[in-house]
């Protein structure tokens, strides 16, 4: 997505060797990997809403710098592939990112200078549409 790139972020489909980063991990793994927290979201019944909940993990890493980076990235995603469920489906169809072991889950890695985000996306209704796990590099 060009807007992300111009703003200092990169977004790419997940390679097979990083698929485990898109799922819940142990507390020890989270601590050693610099896990900050994760956002869970869905587009509601209409596919046009955006309901979300932030789940913090490490408050020491949940700094103002991180928050600014995260909010900026989310604003850009909400203008592009996360506008609604249809936009997300179109993005997935043109960029891939299929996660092994789950037919309808897709994974993308979003990076900024200081942070790495693992976005697990589910483009169908009836469940949460995604999780974005945040890590300090």
The predicted pLDDT at position 96 comes to 87
Say if residue 13's pLDDT is above 90: yes
pLDDT band per the 50, 70, 90 thresholds, residue 46: very high
Task: Average the pLDDT over 104-124 and give the result.
Answer: 95
Mean pLDDT of the chain: 92
Pairing of strands 130-136, 35-42: antiparallel
The predicted pLDDT at position 131 comes to 97
Cβ(97)–Cβ(91) below 8 Å: no
pTM, rounded to two decimals: 0.92
CA-based nearest residue to 19, from 127, 109, 89, 96: 109
pLDDT band per the 50, 70, 90 thresholds, residue 27: confident
Task: Count the Cβ atoms, other than its own, within 10 Å of residue 15.
Answer: 10
Per-residue pLDDT of 61-113, as tens digits, reads 999 999 999 999 999 999 999 999 999 999 999 998 888 666 788 999 999 99
Cβ(126)–Cβ(43) below 8 Å: no
């Amino acid at each position: 997505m060009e807007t992300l790139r111009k703003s200092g972020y990169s977004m790419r489909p997940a390679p097979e060797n990083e698929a485990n980063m898109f799922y819940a991990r142990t507390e020890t793994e989270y601590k050693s990997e610099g896990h900050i927290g994760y956002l869970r979201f869905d587009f509601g019944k209409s596919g046009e809403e955006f309901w979300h909940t932030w789940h913090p993990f490490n408050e020491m890493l949940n700094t103002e710098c991180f928050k600014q980076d995260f909010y900026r990235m989310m604003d850009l995603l909400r203008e592009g592939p996360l506008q609604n469920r249809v936009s997300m489906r179109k993005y997935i169809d043109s960029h891939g990112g299929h996660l092994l072991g789950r037919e309808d889950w897709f994974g993308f890695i979003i990076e900024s200078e200081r942070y790495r985000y693992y976005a697990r996306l589910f483009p169908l209704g009836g469940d949460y549409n995604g999780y974005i796990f945040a890590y300090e590099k």
